[in-house]
A and B are shown apart, each in its own frame.
Chain A
Amino acid sequence: MKILVCISHVPDTTSKINFTDGDTKFDTNGVQFVINPNDEFGLTRAMWFKEKQGAQVHVVNVGGPETEPTLRKALAIGADEAIRINTPATDGFSVAKQLAAVVKEGGYDLVIGGRESIDYNGGMVPGMVAKIIGANFVNTCISLEIEGTDATAIREIDGGKETVKTALPLVVGGQKGLVEESDLRIPNMRGIMQARSKPLTVKDPVDANAETTAVSFKKPAPKGAVKLVDNVDDLIDLLHNEAKVI
């Protein structure tokens, strides 16, 4: 089985979110970038397939050279090869088109992305890739088993979960549950050393026009200080008369 894990290079959750150039660009100054958490669950599940059932695991990112440390980290965790498509990740559709070209060329059986990235939260890339290449698609996937070309997946739905049967080629939008938090791997020194000599191929992008363009950014208005009360009567009064939520 050939597995492609799509890796988004995103600011660490604890990063300060600021914008520059007249609020038109994300300010990367002092920001630590990481593998998108939803993608990391998928990568770890891919490693499980590799170790238990035999699979080749490739990782891919659409972005400039600055995203390579994030791909190297995925290699250090255990992916076999990395691909970087050398173009800025602008909108979801153009990223999906780049990824779809890689999937077609590489003949991947299973493509794992995250249910959404924690920066733009669009949650659209895995579904678009599936539709472009004509593969099956399961979103918000919290469990995935593969036998031959048959797949059984569990997806989170509002208020519960749903078990589905499907088949390869398959694209999933994954999240926590594919593996547990405690299963995530911190790269060890051996992995980091090996990652240096694993292939990282830089590919030219295919033609893809952006369908949407982020024009400007703003931060929410600063929040007022918390109102502290020392008894529940005051709290109920505030929730009823001031906040009007009960």
Chain B
Amino acid sequence: MSVLVYTESENNTYKKVAFEAVSYAKGIAEMLGTLVTAVAVNGGDSSQLGKYGADKVLEVSNEAYNKFNAETYASIVAEAAKQESANVVVLTSSANSKFMAPLVAVNLEAGYVANVTELPESTSPFKVTHSVFTNKAFASTEIKTDVKIIGLAKNAYGLKENQAAAAAETYTPNISENNGVEVVSVDKATDKVTIADAEIVVSGGRGLKGPENWGMIEELAETLGAATACSKPVSDMGWRPHSEHVGQTGKPVASNLYIAIGISGAIQHLAGINASKVKVVINTDEEAPFFKAADYGIVGDAFEFVPQLNEKLKAFKAQNA
């Protein structure tokens, strides 16, 4: 018996979602009275995983796995789960995790629930709470299989320190080569904070009147160390790249802080961003639906308030650095 957690990394550095997943896995392991085993593919400094409760780390080190391949990674996780007799497997909500999770589930004949927001409400029966209807409700779902797979929602559980040994073991999974889907090229900005990883997201809408006015959005994002995003009309009109579109049919956002500038707050937009913890809106139209969804708001002109906000935040950051 054990809880297995897949710990995602990039360029041999663990990502924050890996620490969050380990924190969560530790929480379940304590409920079950068992230990946490992490599995990492070309991962980072495994002692870091110990800080959040990993008792053991299976380290897979193989250049052939440098490019993510869902089938291969799913096989590694499934093999590790079998070796460790894991009864719970914890994955996350990253794009790669969501890609491989259904493959792991079929491989292990395990029930899988995505977007889980809390520790299980009970372990016998095994019941978990997860967001449904695009964050408009929560479901309590019983997983009935022997092995349970949990896809942890982003930024829902948080980091919890709980020191454990993180005993590292070299792990060579016995899996067959799969080249059914081969990565040809990866196009990824390395100098920018991604919407998926960002703690803060600064997002602009049609109220900004044109792509030439995005300078102040980018400056504010830079001051805050935030990712930039936009509403659907803005990406449809080609003012900003599609990759910045957040909302129901765009990217989901679950940041600590979401700042909406000149965005009215169409229901499709709100559905995609309402997993964010704190929402701020700046809009000239006090009737804009976003004011109903926001925690803080300024009824006013973005062209007046955003540059002011940026200047004052710079001063604030300098003072609090």
How many A-B pairs have beta carbons closer than 8 Å: the answer is 258
Are the C-beta atoms of B134 and A121 separated by less than 8 Å? yes
Are the C-beta atoms of B105 and A124 separated by less than 8 Å? yes
B57 to nearest A CB, angstroms?
A: 23
A137-B103, A164-B184, A235-B309 given; A228·B137 CB < 8 A? no
Q: Is B114 an interface residue (CB 8 A)?
A: yes
The interface-forming segment of B30-38, B163-171, B248-256 is: B248-256
Q: Is A211 an interface residue (CB 8 A)?
A: yes
Q: Is A163 an interface residue (CB 8 A)?
A: yes
Are the C-beta atoms of A159 and B197 separated by less than 8 Å? yes
Are the C-beta atoms of B257 and A218 separated by less than 8 Å? no
Q: How many angstroms between the C-alpha atoms of A163 and B256 in the bound complex? A: 31
Q: How large is the interface on B (under 10, 10 to 19, 20 to 34, 35 or more residues)?
A: 35 or more
Are the C-beta atoms of B95 and A157 separated by less than 8 Å? yes
A137-B103, A157-B188, A166-B180 given; A214·B140 CB < 8 A? yes
CB-CB under 8 A from B175, the residues of chain A are none
Q: How many angstroms between the C-alpha atoms of A218 and B137 in the bound complex? A: 6
B298's partner among A212, A217, A223, A228 (CB-CB below 8 A) is A228
Give the contacts of B91-144 with A (CB-CB under 8 A): 94-96, 98-103, 105-107, 110-115, 127, 131-144
Q: How many angstroms between the C-alpha atoms of A167 and B178 in the bound complex? A: 13
CB-CB under 8 A from A63, the residues of chain B are none
Q: Is A190 an interface residue (CB 8 A)?
A: no
CB-CB under 8 A from A188, the residues of chain B are none
Q: Is B318 an interface residue (CB 8 A)?
A: no
Are the C-beta atoms of A131 and B312 separated by less than 8 Å? no
Q: How many angstroms between the C-alpha atoms of A152 and B32 in the bound complex? A: 45
Q: Is B176 an interface residue (CB 8 A)?
A: no
Q: Is A162 an interface residue (CB 8 A)?
A: yes
Q: Mark A120-145, 1 if CB is under 8 A from B, else 0.
A: 11111111101110001111101000
B228 to nearest A CB, angstroms?
A: 12
Q: How many angstroms between the C-alpha atoms of A223 and B296 in the bound complex? A: 12
Q: How large is the interface on A (under 10, 10 to 19, 20 to 34, 35 or more residues)?
A: 35 or more
Q: Is B159 an interface residue (CB 8 A)?
A: no
The interface-forming segment of B42-50, B79-87, B275-283 is: B275-283
CB-CB under 8 A from A118, the residues of chain B are 133-134, 248, 271
B135 to nearest A CB, angstroms?
A: 8
Are the C-beta atoms of B243 and A160 separated by less than 8 Å? yes
A14-B267, A165-B182, A228-B297 given; A215·B111 CB < 8 A? no
Q: Is B303 an interface residue (CB 8 A)?
A: no
Interface centre among B142, B143, B224 (most CB of A within 10 A): B142
Q: Mark A42-64, 1 if CB is under 8 A from B, else 0.
A: 00000000000000000000000
Q: How many angstroms between the C-alpha atoms of A45 and B192 in the bound complex? A: 31
B316 to nearest A CB, angstroms?
A: 6
Are the C-beta atoms of A219 and B137 separated by less than 8 Å? yes
B233 to nearest A CB, angstroms?
A: 10
Q: Is B64 an interface residue (CB 8 A)?
A: no
Are the C-beta atoms of B188 and A131 separated by less than 8 Å? no
- Can you pick out 11 interface pairs between chain A and chain B where the beta carbons lie within 8 Å of each other? A96-B106, A120-B132, A159-B194, A159-B195, A212-B142, A212-B143, A213-B142, A220-B138, A227-B297, A228-B291, A245-B277
Interface on A for B, CB 8 Å cutoff?
11, 13-14, 17, 19, 37-38, 41, 91-93, 96, 118-128, 130-132, 136-140, 142, 152, 155-167, 175-177, 180-182, 210-220, 223-224, 226-230, 232-233, 235-236, 238-240, 243, 245-246
Among all A-B residue pairs, the 7 with the closest Cβ atoms = A127-B102, A160-B188, A159-B194, A211-B111, A158-B196, A131-B106, A124-B102
